[in-house]
Amino acid sequence: MTRPAEVSRPAKTAAVPVPRWLPITSIAIAVVGLLVAGYLTYEHFTASSTLACSDTGKINCLKVTTSNQSMFLHIPVAVLGMLFFVAMIPLCLPVAWRSTDPRLRRLRLAAAGVGVLFVCYLLYAELFIIDSICLWCTGVHVLTLLLFGVIAFGTAALDPIGSRRR
């Protein structure tokens, strides 16, 4: 009597060695992003009464933060920014970076990618619809792009194309 072929299961492996700078940098960017998005959220709910930014000319934070584009699906984009960074912090913890679960790596990269896509929409809105730039919003945009860059670089470094299992 022959035995049926056993289903191959991936062996449990030890945590992936991760460069120390990777989780530190990604968490630092996410925390700073959370603080800036938190400030913008505070300003949104206080009618931008203490907004520390120009409100005249091309750089006009008040015009941007009170525009129709400051809401997305009836949710303030500042709140969405805060939620984005709140979600990214646990995904950037050292234990998450060391995880061997490819789903977690894909989730982290996909979440950062969604953040970049939303930044593209917001930049378009600022430049072509609102016709003004908010420096605080630009800070969030830059932090989102930096976070994506760190995550993409870290993901590629930890999982090079040639080493993927099939």
pLDDT digits over 134-145, tens only? Answer: 999 999 999 999
Full set of structural domains in the chain with CATH? 21-159 (1.20.1440.130)
Question: Residue 70: pLDDT above 60?
Answer: yes
What are the φ and ψ backbone dihedral angles of 22, each rounded to 5 degrees? -65, -55
Residues 6+ apart with CB under 8 A from 49: 43
- pLDDT at residue 54, as a whole number: 72
Q: Structure pTM?
A: 0.84
Distance between CA atoms of 45 and 128, rounded to whole angstroms?
Answer: 25
Biggest CA-to-CA distance, the chain: 85
| pLDDT 10s digits, 75-121 | 999 999 999 999 999 999 999 999 888 899 999 999 999 999 999 99
| pLDDT 10s digits, 16-49 | 678 899 999 999 999 999 999 999 999 888 877 7
